[in-house]
Amino acid sequence: MSPKLQKGEELIKGLRPHPLAFYRLYGIWVYIALVGVYFSSSPSIEILEMGPETSARVLWWLSILVPAVLIALFRINWRWLVALAIPALLAFYLPGQLEYTAFLEKWGLLWLSDQNHILTAFGVLGILGTEEHRRSHRYYITNWRLIMESGHLGVHRRTLLYKNINDLVVEQSFAGKIFNFGTIIPITASGLGLGDDFSMAGAAVGTRAMIGAGGGKTVSTPRGRSHHLLEGVGRPEQVHDLIISLMHSQS
Q: What is the CATH number of the domain that holds 221?
A: 2.30.29
Task: Identify whether residues 129 and 144 lie together within a single domain.
Answer: no
Asked, for residue 2, whether it belongs to a domain, the answer is no
Instruction: Report whether 150 contacts 138 (CB < 8 A).
Output: yes
Q: Is the pLDDT of residue 133 over 50?
A: yes
Task: Identify whether residues 128 and 141 lie together within a single domain.
Answer: no
Least confidently predicted of 3-12, 30-39, 44-53 = 44-53
Q: How many domains is the chain built from?
A: 2
Asked, for residue 151, whether it belongs to a domain, the answer is yes
pLDDT in tens, 181-219: 999 999 887 655 444 444 334 444 444 444 444 444 433
Report the 10 Å Cβ neighbour count for 95: 17
Structural Rg of the chain based on CA atoms? 24
Task: Identify whether residues 103 and 152 lie together within a single domain.
Answer: no
**Which domain does 30 fall in, by range?**
23-134
pTM: 0.80
Strand locations in the chain (E): 11-15, 138-142, 145-150, 156-161, 165-171, 181-188, 194-206, 210-222, 230-234
The rounded distance, in Å, linking the Cα atoms of 231 and 173 is: 12
Q: What is the pLDDT of residue 225?
A: 63
In the predicted model, what is the mean pLDDT of residues 94-106? 92
Task: Identify whether residues 161 and 239 lie together within a single domain.
Answer: yes
Q: What is the pLDDT of residue 6?
A: 87
The rounded distance, in Å, linking the Cα atoms of 115 and 88 is: 8
Q: How long is the chain? A: 251
Report the 10 Å Cβ neighbour count for 135: 13
